[in-house]
Structure 1
Amino acid sequence: LWDFGDGTQDTARNTTHTYTSSGGYVVELNLFDSLGCRNSSFISQRVRVSPPPSFELLNALDSTFCAGDTLVIRSSIDPNDPNTDLLARAATARFLPVPFRRDTIFLPDGVGVAYTSSLTFNQFRPGAILESADQLLGILVSIEHSYARDISIDIRCPDGTQINLLNASANLASTNLGQPFACGPIDDNTANPTPGIPFDYTFVNDSPANGTIDANDAVFVTYPPSSDCPMGYSDRVLPAGEYEPLTPLSALEGCPLNGEWTIRIQDNLPADNGWLFGWGLTVVDSLYRTLESFTPPIVDYGWREHPTSISPNPNQFTATSSFAGDVSYTFWVEDDFGCVNDTTLNFAILPPTDPACSNCELDFGD
């Protein structure tokens, strides 16, 4: 299971991924054998996605000039250059602060048995506490289970305060969490530990779209026949997304941020099983002491070719045209990641007959 660190996953043996936003990401790979056992070593790779530079017009340029006139635009990547009209400035990005544990735990059938996973934080300011529920942007649980009514999920903060995200309840019916490896609304293959496909459920302080989890949020899905389930089957599935916890997140106000946070998942009914694939907390950036950042420097720059250009100098673009009309000139930069970005300036060339282009002075005498 590939986790690309931006909320997307893939189960392909060979895969590619395109990030849609700049920043730093940690890519993780989890391997499973036929018995559901996961690799014991931590396989990860840090990926940096270059941020686009900023383009700043430091001096006002006339948007119109006359046919035959010469246009000069001074360009630079040096913010200390006093003669610059157009400045390209390298941008800074940072690794996203997502305290997340990709800790795959089998959740076998076992009435009254609880399974736990803990995260120990030390990246917050010493003595920092959760002052407001608004600082806790969400609690993410990546899970699959063949019977949501079977389990309850709690979160415990370092001082022992505990809240309930999901509780075993009749209103959950036979709803699946994620896509479990199952063959019926009540799974007859409980002893099979094969992992299914997890969905990400994020518990937030206010979810106007979904509210707390119940069977009304589920959708019916029909699974086609397979070697493990020759007849196929239909069942309710809870879509991935944001939901409200049963206990408001405000109950965690006053909790220390540093220390051990624990998720507790308890099995409450016979039959069915599932897997916890990971969980974590997302808080506002201001709570962190430091965030790793990077600034890819600009290594090359210049102007795109244009028929009216009379100078290839990257620091000073010069153009002239004998014809009226609209023209566009494009300035590009390349950073040391090989990423190319550009900006375009638009101008209108006036014909010689335009009143703005006349140098005549009329003298009508006395």
Structure 2
Amino acid sequence: MIKKIHYLIILFVLIATNSFSQFDVTIEVTDSVCQSDSVTFIAKATNGGVPETGVNYIWNFDDGSSVKSGLDLDTIKHAFIEGGGYIVRVEASKGTDEDYALKRVQVSLTADFSKTESNRPDPICLGQLVSLTGIADTVNWRYEIQDENEELNPDEVSQGNDYSTVFDYKYYTETQTITADTDLDTVGIKLEHTNLSNLKIELSCPNGSSIILKDFDGQDKYFGEPIDDEISDEVGVGYYYYWTNSPDFGTINTTTTSQASLPEGSYTSDEPFGNLIGCSLNGQWTITVTDNQAPDKGFVFATRLKFNDALLPPVDWTFENTYGSSVWDGVGISQTIDGRANGTPTSIGNTEYRFQVTDNFSCKQDTSIFINVEGVSFTANPIEGPFDLEVIFENTTSWATDYSWDFGDESEIDTQENPTHMYTYPDGTYIVIYTAKTDDGCEDVDSTTIIITIPDPIFSEPANVFSPNNDGTNDFFKLDVDDIASLEGWIYSRWGNTVCRWRSVEEALIGWDGRIQESNREATPGVYYYYIKAIDYHGEEIFKKGSIQLFR
């Protein structure tokens, strides 16, 4: 951003070459301004040293803005949005008297801050020190005379659809004119067309004088390599054709060729360049192309107009911006020394640090670096469930290089980046504390809660029939239980003898295989009775009893 810091008045004094005896341009203050500054231009037309009224003024600021005009509009304000050099033109006219004046204005260039940086990659830890380096490199500008107009998209030329392009020159002095045919060095056009005999190409100068470069007529040949299909909008290949003082060929209309296309190169104009003697170099020069016959058509790609280099002013217009004082601004910033400072962000999110410089035009420019401060974070999955719960922890803190996990269950501290932890009995709420650190000692802490529950017991009614005959089906009498802390079970014969004893949940899950315990003899088919006593993890007792039928 370039700040407005001063107000400029540029004074034009216009004195006519006829009843206005002469033009003269003066400036009251510096012609170097800042972007977006309001600049006041004052033009004065005098007759014999006496200011004239009733003068019509036309202002062109050379920056693409619209032309401003009005009666006695001798004072006008304008702001240049972009940096660079501009040649402001004012035209003054009253009756048959007219003339113009030019003034160069230098607008501060946008500084090159591309090397301004911090020593920390985003994001960083809260409270981490950031070293900032501000650099504004010198920027140069040089006026380049536009000698080629290139069409963004090829422009169609056909009957009723003429082509024209304007070269608006302001770089030369107000008194410079064409004094010899050699002052005009080159005129060129890059085009393709299905019949060159249909075209007339002309060049006109600011005072309205013109010459024919190529008149209608000539061979029925192509310009370039067109697509010879009148209903197609496809663009062919353009050739560059030039008119110079030392051409390769005669006029286009008298040049013959056995090829389908007229050769690319330089030609003699139908009318001499000398017909333009007296034309001002400054102003609007126009190249026009007229097509007088359908259905042939073509496309123009570019045009060129160049004056003799000897006509250029002896000194190129160039300037540069250099940068003196600089300062960093932002949260926790230290003193700026040679463009360097340290900052310490104090909150999560983006923290802006602004680097400002003052250039040799006294314009202030700045750029900003945004430091992203990231809080510590991690994920835990799952965060709730019954004991013997395996929880997967994942660090999601991008700046962390050291890791410390306190799982809240009196287990040892874990230093893995992404650990897995098992929560066993008993139930409860466990606070997990994660501490992330950087290599230089900055640390931040986050926490979450893991809830371990005790599930309700599962104790399904056992089957009342089984057949231990080793056929793989229903060979065991066993329990279907889960979440039982302890269990005892007895199976009796009808005479009260114990044939099987279970002392744990695991034994009950395996079941009775129909053999009398300790003797390993097969129990006889018949009715047997079971009695189960269990305790769940809530401490509640569970009693089950019933009968089973053993078949073989």
State TM-score, norm by structure 1.
Answer: 0.47
Structure number with the bigger relative contact order (C-alpha 8 A, sep ≥ 6) is 1
Larger of the two Rg values belongs to structure: 2
* Larger strand fraction of residues: 2
